[in-house]
Amino acid sequence: MSHKGIESKIFIIRGHKVMLDRDLADLYGVKTRPLRQQVKRNKERFPEDFMFRLTKNETEILVSQFAIPSIKSLGGHLPYAFTEHGAIMIASILNTKRAVQVSIFVVRAFNKIREMLSGHKNILKKLDELEQRVEGHDHHIHSLFDIIRGLLKKPSASSKPSRRRTPKVRVFVS
């Protein structure tokens, strides 16, 4: 699998770029249940900033936005979400050749997402500079800047999930 295929499995949940346990299990060539068991056996390797469990509401949002087919497809368990560091830590506890190879693709996919998001920050900075130059001009121009900024900003944790999909990164918030 290429890093582009992995990018489609990266979500933004609670403000973190994460991959779900079932997607990581699939990538690493193991079943989800044994992956979860390994994680439980190695809890000290997975602090809160590496992994967290989704709430029922967050899981329902993922289902409603077609990120996962149904809650039943999860085997009756709420999924775990792994940050980039957690996804790499899984490779170290699985310790297989495939896990090492896939972890390289995972790192590259997270880096690509990071580059895309930093591009938005650069655009916002340039908008600020441009707005300074047109200071005192038509208020419609300022409204346009506000609209563009709104489209580029990361959604807050309290906002409703967006029904709009982006091709590579999907954002889910509860």
pLDDT of 72-116, one tens digit each? 777 778 999 999 899 889 888 887 778 777 877 777 777 777 777
Cα–Cα distances (Å) from 81 to 50, 94, 133, 148, 173, in that order, read 8, 17, 44, 31, 13
pTM of the entire predicted model: 0.62
Helices and strands of the chain, counted as H and E runs: 7, 5
15: closest CA among 164, 159, 118? Answer: 159
